[in-house]
Homo-oligomer: A and B are copies of this chain.
Amino acid sequence: MNKKIYVVKASGDKEPFNKFKIISSLVRAGTPIDIAEEVADEVEEKVYNGISTREIYNICLKILIKKYPRFAAKYDLKRSIMILGPSGFPFEKFFANILREYGYDVENNLIFKGKCVEHEIDVFAKKNGKRIMIECKHHSEPGIYVDLKVVLYTYARFLDLSSYFNEVWVVSNTRFSKEAVRYGKCMNVKLIGWRHPKDMSLEKMIEDKKLYPITILKSVKYDVIKRLVEKNIILVRDLWDKSIEEISIETGLSYRIVEKILNEAIAILKI
């Protein structure tokens, strides 16, 4: 190509198209380098002047879904969690389901009477005699940090509820500010978020056991996803214990759509 191709970023700024950026974003999301290069080559053929970064992302994702669905899931994990809605499909329910797969006894949104006041606790988890109070912080936009104040008020709440719990966590789909991390370490408040901590980050917990949220499915529209969620199918693997018939009856979705969903789920989970 001789013509210079410019890409429009989310900020509205333009920059020259750069194939290496695509390769590195794919590799960062766990795609093997050879596949990343193959995808980037294909994307390069499809870009046009004035294309948005969002469109490039979507083209990448489509190629991956078609050819390497297993890596598509990883590539799109962050966004799948971002679109967990505040209504109907809350992050705390998603995280509770993850913990369940890790052998925790879990309950959502319980109210506890503290020394001073009542508190609603997002997730109450139990394992090996530990009783854990978990505050969940979901952000629908990237780039937002969980700040010190969140960890401070969670700790104060934990103190007020000290007769019920012996451990406290703050869990988020984004990152934590440096101050928040320092305070968490110092006061023994465990922080789990995006790429933090390295040995037990949110995406590691998800990927190690393939606990992808149902929002990762790309073959169906969002209102179909919502119907699944209403029936408590929150992780892709929740589809697994059921037959096409069962899912169709439970959700009212047609056989054709349920089959489409299951095919994508199989590809993602590679079972």
User: Which A positions have Cβ atoms within 8 angstroms of B?
Assistant: 115-118, 148-150, 152-153, 155-157, 159-160, 179, 182-183, 185-187
For A187, what are the chain B residues with a Cβ–Cβ distance below 8 Å?
116
For A157, what are the chain B residues with a Cβ–Cβ distance below 8 Å?
152
- A-B pairs with lowest CB-CB distance, top 8: A116-B186, A152-B153, A152-B156, A153-B153, A156-B156, A149-B153, A116-B183, A117-B183
For A152, what are the chain B residues with a Cβ–Cβ distance below 8 Å?
152-153, 156-157, 160
Task: Determine chain A's interface SS by DSSP, over half rule.
Answer: helix
Contact B182 A148 (CB under 8 A): no
Q: Say which residue of B153, B179, B185 sits within 8 Å of A156 (CB atoms).
A: B153
Contact A115 B186 (CB under 8 A): yes
Most buried by B among A149, A152, A155, A186: A152
Contact B117 A186 (CB under 8 A): yes
For A185, what are the chain B residues with a Cβ–Cβ distance below 8 Å?
116
Most buried by B among A117, A149, A182: A117
Rounded to whole angstroms, the CA-CA distance of A119 and B242 in the bound complex is: 53
